[in-house]
Structure 1
Amino acid sequence: MSGRLRLPVSGEMFRTVVANTSARALAIAGLTLATVLVARTGGPSAVGEYALLRMLPGLVGVLCVLGLPGALAYFLAAPRRDLPRLWPTLIAIGFGGALLGTVAWLAASPVIAHVFFPQESTLMIAAAGLTVPTQLVLTLGKTTLQGLEDRRGGDVVIAAEELAFLPCYLLPLVTGIHGVAAIVIGLGLADLVVAVEAWRRVSRLLGWRRFGLAADGLGWFGRPDRALGGQIASYGLRGQVGGLITLLNLRLDFAILGAMAGPAVLGSYAVASKYAELLRLPGNALTWVCYPRLAKLGQAEAAASARRMIRPTLIGILLAAIPVALLTSPVMRLLYGASFGPAVTPARVLLAGMLLAGASGVASAYLYGRGTPGLNSIVLGFGLLVTVVLDVLLIPAHGALGAAIASTAAYLSTDALLIGVLLRLSTPSRARRSSTVQATEVSA
């Protein structure tokens, strides 16, 4: 068994990471095409509103499900996936969180409209709350495929969730609906279309007998297990802190910049940020692929596997950064037009912040896989502190460039700390002792 579960740096692992990175690149391509269309029809202000509507409802949803997306891969790894009443418990948490998130958005819509969308009606922003449950259902379907190790299915969903927006956005446009209304409709329809495919794949993996009909508490429906729910919430909340901090590190500058400088400046910065995040794709892919695999390996073997991947990921990202940086200006001007020229310099600054992202992706996967997501969250919390302090200091005077400098400092400091934690915890002596830590955290 140990030989079959060994996690190599090359071969099958390399192909899996390349496939996942390719899926994420397709997603970026779809997002780019959609952003170009939004930019051409509405200008930088529309792009800023699009960026906020993609971020804020999803953030609300994730906050309300007790970290369930981050916990799924851990509890769906063998042998935990066969725990009695696991699925009813997962579904209860997901359904309750979706309902809570929608109500919370509706209640806060006047404030959200005033702060982030001053030119839009409160009613329209309240309607955007319908994307809270649609984004959540899609996210849970995607992370369930990750936990069940359907790598091909997960890659399809990752690519489709961005590619699907373009035709779904075109639909309201051709019927005469424009502006924020078209964006909200496009986002909601795209979420539903891709979520149906994700959960179809999940039900096929589990088998139709498992699809609500299995006995002994192994089906999808039934009475939730409160104790098991507590374990899932405990793990999920510790991981959710890190996931939320990661999202805030990536998008808090969007919110602060949008509130301080308005949608037009935010639109240019959003384009710069998405371009720079091309270098983060391999790191995200490594986390996605390695997390469920490391979760089922022995501690010493998982530690050795993670350490072996650090050097090649560092070198790979550094080599990839050179052509991406050189192409920044022609790509920006060609795709988005002269009005997005101010995005070039922030994009190049943000690219520097991505240089350690590959190795830090391995580090996050290792910390989640060994059952210690809280350590990941603590490290990411430091990066969030850097983001907040520097955003407040730099954005008022330097706008988008200040946001880029703040984010770059946060990315580099956080990634360096994660790599340092991985190197320290994965030494042979510590790896042998870590199984006790894992057992303590899961039962906490």
Structure 2
Amino acid sequence: MTETQRPVEPVEIEAPAQRRTVSKKIVALMAGNMVGRVGALASLGLATIMVARIGGPELVGAFTLVRILPGLLCQLSNAGLPAAAPYFLADGSASGRVYDQSRVRPTLAWLTVVGALIGGLSWLALTPLLYLVFFKSFGIWVTVAAAVPSFTQGYVSVGKGLLQGTEDMRGASMAIAVEEFVFLPIYGVILIGWYGPGALIAGLVLADVAAAAWIARRLARRGFFAGWGRPDLRLARTISSYGFRGYLGQLIDLLQLRFDMALLGGLAGPKVLGVYTVASKFAELVQLPGLALNYVLFPDFAKDDKAEATRRTRKLILPAFGVSVVAALPLAAIAGTALPWIFGDVFDDAVVPTYIRLAGVVTFGVTGLIMAYLYGVGRPGAASTCQGIGLAVVVIAGVMLIPSFGAEGAATATALSFVATTAALLVWFFHVERAERNGRADQAVKVEKVEKKG
């Protein structure tokens, strides 16, 4: 038996067992992630119902603003740590570099604190502008108080990345649900003696503290805080650089999803934003299959040969679209009666924006599939470029439509951005597929010429 033959026999014997093991792991990870996401959405839905019943659309608008705007600021101030933490806690083995974990962990913790401080201070610096654009109806002190969630939310978002980096995927999936769930009992207790936006902010801050404490306890059990050295400034720069580059696409995605809300809140006020928030959250349920598809297939494609990954992706495009359509149809069927019944008759105006958003988000299954492919074959920049096209569409369409059409204009802008992103991804995928097919054909011709000469 030759050397080239030696690895073949065990691979043929072990491959089926390995594939079954990988498949079981993928299914388990998908199930855990889906449970976490569904739990988070259920908790957020209950929280939105609670807020809507207490304060109507205006308070729902305040709830949306103090969740989204501090979150956007955190994404910038923490230097992409949620994306960078898993990579550096895994020793950076993918790049062939090994990092001293006794320095990585304290450096990540130090960056988390610094990012949270920058987020809170940045909010305070922007308070006059935020007050004039978003919070004028609530008062200046509510605007100032919203700086606290800008400080606390960073700990939760980075904490989930730390759980992933310590290979606690079950904990990371649970944290997605815990983050939203803990708000419910805390806010319920606060409502015993305090109402209004101030109580809302207090509930969100205490929920962040509780979720961060839960994450810290789980990390401690896995030895994250043991054996620390000193934080490393050079390593901090390396981590920040990686984080910014790696988180660009996700930040664009977040802006694409939330720009319409921020613009609507600024132009139409919190009451219209509250109505639109209900429509948005209901329609976004269609994204769950696409998110799960992306979560499962990305690592799978990364292990595949590029030609095999391309073949599988092309084969799955129509089924991925079909899954999203199947998910959207029942939501469209019940939206007209469910939304007013659940949230109150004052939310009748949420029905039409829901239908419009559903028409756009139905393409998200294809989006999740092709983004998994692009990341899997080492083209994350292509995915970010396509997401950037979607962001440009929502910004341009939002500025044009929201002043005249309010919530329906925001829904139209977002639906168009979903379709534009999916279309850009499809164009890129077929371009890559065609280039790969031409490359294989050219290679075959060269081989044929060599054989004829031989």
Q: Give yes or no for TM over 0.5.
A: yes
Any conservation in 2 of the 1:239–1:374 contact (CA below 8 Å)? no
Any conservation in 1 of the 2:310–2:373 contact (CA below 8 Å)? no
* 1:9 shift after superposition: 9.9
SS of equivalent to 2:136:
coil
Q: 1:235 aligns with which of 234, 242, 253?
A: 242
SS of equivalent to 2:361:
coil
154 and 168 in structure 1: CA distance in 2 versus 1, 3 angstrom threshold: same
**1:203 and 2:220 aligned:** yes
The residue type paired with residue 415 of structure 2 is T
Aligned residues: 420
295 and 363 in structure 1: CA distance in 2 versus 1, 3 angstrom threshold: same
SS of equivalent to 1:177:
coil
Residues in 2 aligned to 1:341 and 1:47: alpha-carbon distance in whole angstroms: 15
The residue type paired with residue 198 of structure 1 is I
* 1:426 shift after superposition: 6.9
Q: 2:55 aligns with which of 18, 26, 42?
A: 42
User: Corresponding residue for 2:191?
Assistant: 173
User: Corresponding residue for 1:437?
Assistant: none
* 1:99 shift after superposition: 1.1
* 1:309 shift after superposition: 5.2
SS of equivalent to 2:66:
helix
264 and 7 in structure 1: CA distance in 2 versus 1, 3 angstrom threshold: farther
261 and 97 in structure 1: CA distance in 2 versus 1, 3 angstrom threshold: same
Residues in 1 aligned to 2:36 and 2:272: alpha-carbon distance in whole angstroms: 29
The residue type paired with residue 330 of structure 1 is T
Any conservation in 1 of the 2:104–2:231 contact (CA below 8 Å)? no
Structure number with greater CO (CA < 8 Å, separation at least 6) is 1
User: Corresponding residue for 2:179?
Assistant: 161
Residues in 1 aligned to 2:262 and 2:196: alpha-carbon distance in whole angstroms: 20
* 1:123 shift after superposition: 2.2
Identity within the alignment, %: 40
Matches within 5 A, 1:320-359: 320-359=327-366
Please say which of residues 417-426 and 5-14 is displaced more in the overlay: 5-14
96 and 80 in structure 1: CA distance in 2 versus 1, 3 angstrom threshold: farther
Please say which of residues 78-87 and 141-150 is displaced more in the overlay: 78-87
The residue type paired with residue 121 of structure 2 is V
User: Corresponding residue for 2:230?
Assistant: 222
Any conservation in 1 of the 2:289–2:323 contact (CA below 8 Å)? no
Residues in 2 aligned to 1:7 and 1:425: alpha-carbon distance in whole angstroms: 30
237 and 370 in structure 1: CA distance in 2 versus 1, 3 angstrom threshold: farther
The residue type paired with residue 120 of structure 1 is F
353 and 56 in structure 1: CA distance in 2 versus 1, 3 angstrom threshold: same
Unaligned runs of 5+ in 1: 214-218, 434-444
User: Corresponding residue for 2:444?
Assistant: none
Any conservation in 2 of the 1:74–1:369 contact (CA below 8 Å)? no
**1:252 and 2:270 aligned:** no
Any conservation in 2 of the 1:6–1:301 contact (CA below 8 Å)? no
Residues in 2 aligned to 1:69 and 1:369: alpha-carbon distance in whole angstroms: 19
Residues in 1 aligned to 2:311 and 2:172: alpha-carbon distance in whole angstroms: 23
Matches within 5 A, 1:345-384: 345-368=352-375, 372-384=379-391
Residues in 1 aligned to 2:77 and 2:150: alpha-carbon distance in whole angstroms: 10
User: Corresponding residue for 1:116?
Assistant: 134
Deviation per CA, 1:347-387: give whole Å up to 9, x if none.
01101111221232233344445554333222111111101
SS of equivalent to 1:83:
coil
416 and 19 in structure 1: CA distance in 2 versus 1, 3 angstrom threshold: farther
Any conservation in 2 of the 1:77–1:295 contact (CA below 8 Å)? no
* 1:12 shift after superposition: 4.3
* 1:47 shift after superposition: 0.4
Any conservation in 2 of the 1:74–1:147 contact (CA below 8 Å)? yes
145 and 303 in structure 1: CA distance in 2 versus 1, 3 angstrom threshold: farther
Matches within 5 A, 1:18-167: 18-77=31-90, 80=93, 83-84=99-100, 85-167=103-185
Residues in 2 aligned to 1:163 and 1:83: alpha-carbon distance in whole angstroms: 35
371 and 90 in structure 1: CA distance in 2 versus 1, 3 angstrom threshold: farther
SS of equivalent to 1:106:
helix
Matches within 5 A, 1:264-343: 264-290=271-297, 293=299, 297=303, 300=306, 303=309, 307=313, 310-343=317-350
The residue type paired with residue 396 of structure 1 is P
Residues in 2 aligned to 1:404 and 1:341: alpha-carbon distance in whole angstroms: 15
386 and 241 in structure 1: CA distance in 2 versus 1, 3 angstrom threshold: same
Larger Rg: 2
The residue type paired with residue 68 of structure 1 is L
**1:212 and 2:226 aligned:** yes
Residues in 1 aligned to 2:232 and 2:52: alpha-carbon distance in whole angstroms: 46
Residues in 1 aligned to 2:132 and 2:249: alpha-carbon distance in whole angstroms: 29
The residue type paired with residue 222 of structure 1 is R
SS of equivalent to 1:327:
helix
Deviation per CA, 1:71-119: give whole Å up to 9, x if none.
3344445753962132233223222211111111111112212210112
Please say which of residues 307-316 and 330-339 is displaced more in the overlay: 307-316
Any conservation in 2 of the 1:17–1:282 contact (CA below 8 Å)? no
Any conservation in 2 of the 1:279–1:320 contact (CA below 8 Å)? yes
Residues in 2 aligned to 1:418 and 1:358: alpha-carbon distance in whole angstroms: 12
SS of equivalent to 2:119:
helix
Residues in 1 aligned to 2:304 and 2:24: alpha-carbon distance in whole angstroms: 21
User: Corresponding residue for 2:8?
Assistant: none
Any conservation in 1 of the 2:58–2:271 contact (CA below 8 Å)? yes
**TM-score, normalised relative to structure 2:** 0.83
User: Corresponding residue for 1:416?
Assistant: 423
178 and 316 in structure 1: CA distance in 2 versus 1, 3 angstrom threshold: same
**1:183 and 2:200 aligned:** yes
Please say which of residues 252-261 and 417-426 is displaced more in the overlay: 417-426
Any conservation in 1 of the 2:82–2:161 contact (CA below 8 Å)? yes
| RMSD of aligned Cα (Å) | 3.0
The residue type paired with residue 212 of structure 1 is A
14 and 309 in structure 1: CA distance in 2 versus 1, 3 angstrom threshold: farther
